[in-house]
Amino acid sequence: MESGPAIFAGTAFALFGAALMVWTGARLLHRAPVAHGVSPVAAATLATAFGVIFLALGVWCFGRV
């Protein structure tokens, strides 16, 4: 019964992390700003780091099932 929330959370974290990584990569590929008003290097670094963190959280949640 407790695996349901872990599966839901793992899926949500993994999908968000993957989408953030794909979106950041697409923005960088087209040389478009990742965030307006912020240094491009800092924005890309933080977006990539948070994408990796959310993917890792998703994997951790799936490991708890």
pLDDT of residue 64: 81
pLDDT of residue 13: 96
* Residue 35, both tokens: 């965030």
Which residues, given as ranges, of the chain have pLDDT below 50? none
pLDDT of residue 1: 61
pLDDT of residue 65: 81
User: From residue 59, how far is each of 16, 30, 38 by CA, in Å?
Assistant: 12, 29, 30
pLDDT of residue 2: 75
Tell me if 6 sits within 8 A of 57, measured CB to CB.
no
* Residue 45, both tokens: 């670094």
